[in-house]
Amino acid sequence: MPLLLLVDGSSYLYRAFHALPDLRNADGEPTGAIYGVLNMLRRLENDHKADYKAVVFDPRGKTFRDDWYPEYKAHRPPMPDDLARQIEPLHAAIRAAGWPLLMVDGVEADDVIGTLATRAAVDGIDTLISTGDKDLTQLVGPHVRWYNTMSEELLDAAGVEAKFGVPPERIVDYLALVGDAVDGVPGVAKCGPKTAVKWLGQYGSLDGIVAAAPEIKGVVGQNLRDHLAFLPLGRKLVTVVCDLPDLPAPDALTANPPDADALRGLYRRYQFRSWLAEIDGPAAAADVPARTVSAPDAVPPAEKLAVDYDTVLTWAQFDAWLEKIENAALTALDTETTSLDSFAARIVGISLSVEPGEACYIPLAHTAPGVADQLPRDEVLARLKPWLEAVDRKKVLQNAKYDQHVFANHGIALAGVAHDTLLQSYVVESDKGHDLGQLCTRHLGLETIAYEDLCGKGAKQIGFDQVDLERAATYAAEDADVTLRIHHVLHPRLAAEPGLSRIYHDIELPARQVIWQMERTGILIDGELLARQSHEMGQKIMALEARAYELAGQPFNLASPKQLGEILFGRLGLPVKKKTASGAPSTDEEVLSELALDYPLPQLLLEHRSLSKLKGTYTDKLPRMINPDTGRVHTHFSQASVVTGRLASSDPNLQNIPVRTEEGRKIRTAFVAPAGCSIVSADYSQIELRIMAHLSGDARLLDAFAHGEDVHRATAGEIFGVTPLEVGPDQRRVAKSINFGLIYGMSAFGLARQLGLERSAAQTYIDRYFNRYPGVARYMEEAREAARQQGYVETAFGRRLWFPEIRSSNGNRRQAAERAAINAPMQGTAADLIKLAMVAVQGWLERSGLKSRLVLQVHDELVLEVPDDELVEVRTHLPRLMGQVAELAVPLVVEVGVGANWEAAH
């Protein structure tokens, strides 16, 4: 069937305005909503090819619902001036792009959309409604779907029911019950989504609920009876009108050819350079001055310069640029490559920038038709190699670790990396995104060319080497240019903050080189051993499935939540612990863990899930990830993805191999040392508890660590009023749970659940703990208050850990942020310590001329591959090196193990 695409323009408008930063052109005109809406429309057109389409906006002024109910939308705040200023040019741009635009006086966009979708179904036309407004899900049916571009959520009738718990034909009843605070439509007090879904499931419809109102008990039942008089009007207000007269026929909503002249003028005025380049080519866009900026006074003077980008195709041009970078104090460097896999990638071209607005691209391996002669890659790299490997030739890159791998693939040891804008951003604002496009938008206000705009996406994506050279050169040169500009914005901010400057210069930059070396080295694994383990796990999984069928009384799909729910709660009658959003009994891990305490099948299911995950993630997958050139597995360590400063391992993730299960520990036995070497593991002992003692300054806690006591036994003695020698195993277990639980903000409820106690007993233990360790209680409150006042807390070394939700009006989010604010300084300080330890250990290995190598970092542990003749020396020096990287109020204790494999050493 033909497709009609209907866009809720008003929904797009507000979402774009609030989602994007305060973008402006050089004249100070706001542009964020215009850019955001147009960008979403462009993406929507690419993803959904429609025969007919329209963008529908709400009109100015009142609509017929205001006549029905004067309070309708009466308390909405007025539209911000910066948003209002963008409406007319946005409408003009949408029309110029060829979209039919509809806006009917006195009628909301929802009703226009509802009428068009209803008529389209009668005319044999399918409709896709693009919006973020849940009210429009009431229109979903056999010929109508609902699509949210922000979340990429596409709902048919089954999807609506899965999301809201009711089918589309009951959405109006649902909305009448829960109300709509944004539109000023009151619902039944204390009737939230769960209650509404429950009532509709029990009584069938709103009319059924009204009929049953006298028998519904409790406060919410009384609230329903108090609200009965308003319900008919409430239902009328939230019902989309689908029979408006005088609208165009759906098949009349055909696209017009784009008005290039109108678009050209709009793109120039609002400085959308990449879109202007699509019309007139990159050269025409290059003379547009500063693109969108966040505020006129926030842009460095260099932003106002016109850009000057060279495509280097001759040796004369190359020599001129070589002279520039040889004499520059700092050069921005970037590579374009064949792959995101840093070990497989090969260079397609190199871009350089020495001044803001001035950059070049040296194409070396482009294959697009019509590409002019390029300089030979091997010769260019040979001539650049002395500069690339020179420590005194300072360079700034975005994510330098990747480019360093790429150059290493060509036999070049990149040196002189003075700055990395990815790490600068991470240190300044760890809670935000750090890719180059995000940094440009946030700090330069620039709308840069997106990689997908050049290469496409999905199955149709082409390699960068196949992109038209003129467009590729502009994109690549721009990358180097903006990297330099971002450095000029971020580095002064770092320099002005001594704590942040220390984190960047003394921890993150040196650690970057060590991390690169670890990735390059990789770790040896025994693929045959893993294959045997995989076979054994497969046999166990099959046996578990057979046993599960026996316990259930029939075969079923253990991976199907629906079938699992039918077996556990229908056939076996186990108690329902919680429900999903759709009202079905939940079978998640938390529920199964609770049921497993009393029933055998949930325990078996947990074991089956655990084994299946280990088999699929590790024993099956790891052997396939062995690099054929090195014979090793090379994990990727992300240095800028965890807000606390910890590294994140991926492809494969070697930090999450479980060590509390026998199967997990077996997997670690496959991480082996080569012949003549051993694996050495060096682990900080109880590091977060030690950091808690340091940060809180609690006298009793400091004393326990100073005297080398068992801190859990000492805590148990304080809580239970006995000497440490009199502490029993159960008392120590309680103390250990409290010590670690409080680090993560555990409540009395959580402690009670973990220990199987009454909540009152758990609260008593916590109260005793805080009475004996008042410094800890004081620290926790100070951390919460600091986060509330500043929006961040700090590690012992000055790393800032941001919590945007700390002032959230949502109580759950706010409380979660407060708990995180307590733990973050400890976890962040531990992350700082292990990075300092990596730098210290690597420095010592290099200075000593040893052949031992760091191969892994997992949380508070370093793993090394050590030749047997260096074993005594390394084992002796590691505790000293790691223990002396910082002076805390407690001693840093390091435990060292040695073995033929990782498990034996740990």
Pair of tokens at residue 526: 């025994």
Q: Give the tens place of pLDDT for each residue, 68-101.
A: 988 888 777 788 888 999 999 999 999 999 999 9
Report the CATH fold assignment for 526-625. Taq DNA Polymerase; Chain T, domain 4 (1.20.1060)
Is the per-residue pLDDT at 295 higher than 50?
A: no
The confidence score (pLDDT) of residue 56 equals 97
Please report, for the chain, the start and end positions of each structural domain, with discontinuous segments joined by +: 1-160+241-284, 300-496, 526-625, 688-827
pLDDT(289) > 60: no
| Mean pLDDT score, 464-470 | 87
Q: What is the mean pLDDT of residues 147-173?
A: 87
What DSSP line would sit under 11-53, residue for residue?
HHHHHHHHHS---B-TT--B-HHHHHHHHHHHHHHHHS--SEE
DSSP conformational letter for 189: T
Nearest residue to 584 via CA among 42, 67, 882, 162? 162
Residues with Cβ within 8 Å of residue 607, at least 6 apart in sequence: 544
Q: Kindly report the average pLDDT of the chain as a whole number.
A: 90
What's the pLDDT band for 303 if we cut at 50, 70, 90? very low
Tell me the two tokens of residue 538.
């497969």
- Which pLDDT value is given to residue 122? 95
For residues 119-133, average pLDDT: 94
Report whether 467 contacts 455 (CB < 8 A): yes
Q: Using the predicted structure, report yes or no on whether residue 294 has a pLDDT greater than 60.
A: no
Spell 734-768 as b/e; 16+ CB within 10 A means b. Answer: bbbbbbbbbbebbbbeebbebbebeeeebbebbeb
How confident is residue 497, by pLDDT bands cut at 50, 70 and 90? Answer: confident
Residue 293 and residue 299: Cα distance in Å, rounded?
7
Whether the predicted pLDDT of 856 surpasses 90: yes
What homologous superfamily is domain 688-827 in, according to CATH?
5' to 3' exonuclease, C-terminal subdomain (1.10.150.20)
Say if residues 518 and 856 touch (Cβ distance below 8 Å).
yes
Kindly state the average pLDDT of the residues 578-582.
79
- pLDDT value at position 146? 95
In which band, very low, low, confident or very high, does the pLDDT at 286 lie, cut at 50, 70 and 90?
low
Lowest-pLDDT choice from 340-354, 434-448, 557-571 = 434-448
The CATH class for the domain spanning 1-160+241-284 reads alpha beta
> How far apart are the C-alpha atoms of 2 and 612, rounded to whole Å?
44
Phi-psi domain of 274 (left: phi exceeds 0; alpha: psi -120 through 50; beta: other): alpha
Q: What is the DSSP letter of 240?
A: P
End-to-end Cα separation, the chain, in angstroms? 63
The number of beta carbons lying within 10 Å of the beta carbon of residue 894 is 20
Token pair of 287 as six digits: 């003379």
Cα angle at 775 between 774 and 776, to 5 degrees? 90
How confident is the model over 518-542, as pLDDT tens digits? Answer: 999 999 999 999 999 999 999 999 9
- E strand or H helix at 135, and its extent? none
Give me the pLDDT at residue 392, please: 94
CATH class of 300-496: alpha beta
What pLDDT is stored for residue 415 in this prediction? 97
Q: Phi and psi of 229, rounded to 5°?
A: -65, -30
Q: Which range, of 166-170, 177-181, 603-607, 823-827, averages the lowest pLDDT?
A: 177-181
Per-residue model confidence (pLDDT) at position 20: 63
Q: What does the pLDDT read at residue 273?
A: 77
pLDDT digits (tens, 9 = 90+) for 189-205: 889 888 999 999 999 99
Residue identified by tokens 């930059």 is 509
The closest alpha carbon to 699, from 645, 629, 779, belongs to 779
Please give the model's pTM, rounded to 2 decimal places: 0.68
Cα 302 from Cα 798, distance rounded (Å): 31
**Which pairs count as long-range contacts for 692-695, CB under 8 Å and 24+ apart, including other chains?**
692/743, 692/776, 692/779, 692/826, 693/889, 693/890, 694/796, 694/829, 694/888, 694/889, 694/890, 695/779, 695/796, 695/825, 695/826, 695/829
